[in-house]
Amino acid sequence: MTNGKRPAGWIGGFFRQFLLQGSWNYRSLLGSGFAFCMIPILRRRGLSGDALDGAVRSHMGTFNAHPYLAGIALGAVAQMEESGTDPETIERFKRAIQGALGGLGDLLIWGAWRPTTTLLALVLAWAGTPPWVPVCVFLVAYNGGHVALRWWGYKRGLQYGKDVGVRLGRAALSRLAERAFVAGALLLGILAGVFLVSHLATEEAGGLWSLAGVLAFGLGLKFGHRALRGTTLVVVLVITVLTVLGNA
């Protein structure tokens, strides 16, 4: 399915992805956003007036995906348009891939990447850096990751077209999520260790708290990926705040 040639207008299509959710609605979900992203590519194919209008409308059907992974579908559809795939096949492709892009995106981003980068910032905060450091590190890490993921997905879509699902396989995305989970588990362990040792340790009980820190680190490493969810973060934050108040 790949013809190696990127469709003209693909760069514009990439940047429009950042506004993909701008017209999210219950009727077509991301449908109109998807059509909006396709406009530069359709224009560069020489379409204008009624022809452009019709082509944009054909992309406005109900579509939903995780916004950061929707680029995989966008790139693939742009490639399919370029290689002259019939509209029905394109529609069926969008229908079939959307569920996977939604579910994997939730797992990868909301379940792994966002908690992991949040934990990274918390670890830095507890390690005693000035307040602006964890804030900047979080913003750069989180956004760097999501922009990179959008770019990677869009390029893979453009590269493989209709075959993108088979070529990527579930493994590629699951592996990314797994890595983020492991990093998050490690950070959860470090965070637990750091705040137990640095804020609870006293002269008399230093050894005990250090041991507790090491134990927490080990548990985080072993089981953290199971516990790493939004609710866990809330629990960690509550414990943290209580500890600060208790030590104040």
**Which residues of the chain form contacts with another protein (CB under 8 A)?**
26-29, 62, 64, 92-93, 95-104, 106-107, 162-163, 165-166, 168-170, 173-174
Give the residue from 235, 195, 230, 242 showing the smallest Cα distance to 216: 195
Between 41 and 97, whose beta carbon lies closer to another protein? 97
CB of 162 to another protein, least distance (A): 7
Hey, which bits of 163-233 come out as E strands? none
Cβ 27 to another protein shortest distance, Å = 4
Nearer to another protein, 1 or 214 (CB): 1
53 or 163: CB nearest another protein: 163
Determine the Cα–Cα distance for residues 79 and 241; give it in Å rounded to an integer.
51
| Closest CB 64 distance from another protein, rounded Å | 7
φ and ψ of 74, to 5 deg: -60, -50
Shortest Å, Cβ 60 to another protein: 11
Q: Which is nearer to another protein, 29 or 187 (CB)?
A: 29
Backbone angles phi, psi at 175, to 5 degrees: -65, -40
158 close to 93: Cβ distance less than 8 angstroms: no
Nearer to another protein by Cβ, of 12 and 103: the residue is 103
Within its chain, how far is the Cα of 81 from the centroid? 26
What is the closest distance, in whole angstroms, from the C-beta atom of residue 182 to another protein in the complex? 16
